[in-house]
Structure 1
């Protein structure tokens, strides 16, 4: 059974570097007109569970205006239009946010944050063999504290619901499964 909608028209309501909003008019296979349907357009995002050479997880602490809290997260960010691939963007973000370079970057797949109203994906990675090579190079609006933790400490944070960014929890779970360390107690 075909359930795909057909796009009849689309109008941009707002365009900026960090947010683009459009209003679509669609028709369902049964002939129902859906109007307006709002979609937010974003560049794809990347995040990584990053491990140092000695197996510590590199977490970051930063303020998040959307929910008005300082959070513990994994490194990540927005893909720039000039990034040739998600891997390139992830390596760039890791170096900028943490100052670490990694021996290996393993793709863990991609997920969508909100398929109902956003058009982008988050590409998830496991970065291993991290070595500090330089100071952080943060954007003008970033203040990031690097926090090294053991894998069991991070697992406990997940179990205690202390990491609230859903895309970061998802990346952590995929990485822990990949490493054979997914332990739900």
Structure 2
């Protein structure tokens, strides 16, 4: 059997929206299961997001620290953001987030890894990009709320892997991006897809 995720859609008998907020919604779908049974599945509806693993010429990863209220933690993360501009290519969204959150632009972009954040409870998908050939850029961006004070740190890739494995970094796209970048570096990043690779 080929090990590859495949699109599949079981029949939805009924769909009910319980909540619609600024970013997320909550929905219950009644799904027709095998043997003609039906069952309710509650999930969060999300527009999706992008994250950027920026790697400098010294193989250091750019991390920012941000307060995340649901977890009650200050988390070290990759620059990231919601897919909130209709029709904007994902790589352009990633470039905008890298500039706004960290003040950098990149000359080389690749798709690093695609993730479903929590597929049992949300439809959110995240594309993590690898950004290299970095240069500083000035962006006039009004930082407010959680983004008001986000320190930027450069961490050697090997040290970032160690921190992820030791339970010192918890943000899921950050952990996945760090481990994927470390694995991809073995082949000199030659196996990575282009930045505009289609999503499954």
Residue-by-residue CA offset, 1:115-161 (whole Å, 9 max, x unaligned): 11211211011110111111573542213111112223212212322
Asked if 1 retains the 8 angstrom alpha-carbon contact of 2:43 and 2:123, the reply is: yes
Residue-by-residue CA offset, 1:139-184 (whole Å, 9 max, x unaligned): 4221311111222321221232211112210111111111129xxx
Matches for 1:73-88 after TM superposition, within 5 Å: 73-88=77-92
Aligned residue for 1:177, secondary structure, equals helix
> Are 1:12 and 2:17 counterparts?
yes
Match in the other structure for 2:102:
98
Q: 4+ residue runs of structure 1 moved beyond 4 angstroms?
A: none
* Equivalent-residue separation in structure 2 for 1:53 and 1:134 (angstroms): 20
Aligned residue for 1:176, secondary structure, equals helix
Q: 1:26 aligns with which of 17, 22, 31?
A: 31
* Equivalent-residue separation in structure 2 for 1:47 and 1:154 (angstroms): 16
Match in the other structure for 2:66:
62
Residue-by-residue CA offset, 1:61-107 (whole Å, 9 max, x unaligned): 11111111112111112111335221111001100000100011110
* Equivalent-residue separation in structure 1 for 2:142 and 2:159 (angstroms): 26
Instruction: Structure 1: give runs of 5+ residues left out of the alignment.
Output: none
Asked if 2 retains the 8 angstrom alpha-carbon contact of 1:98 and 1:135, the reply is: no
> Are 1:180 and 2:164 counterparts?
no
Instruction: Return the offset for 1:30.
Output: 0.9
> What do you get for the CA RMSD once the two structures are aligned?
1.9
How many residue pairs get aligned? The number is 178
Match in the other structure for 1:50:
54
> Are 1:147 and 2:161 counterparts?
no
Aligned residue for 1:163, secondary structure, equals coil
Are residues 177 and 62 of structure 1, via their aligned partners in 2, closer, same or farther at CA, if it must alter by over 3 Å? same
Instruction: Structure 2: give runs of 5+ residues left out of the alignment.
Output: 1-7, 188-200
Give the TM-score, by structure 1 length: 0.88
Give the TM-score, by structure 2 length: 0.81
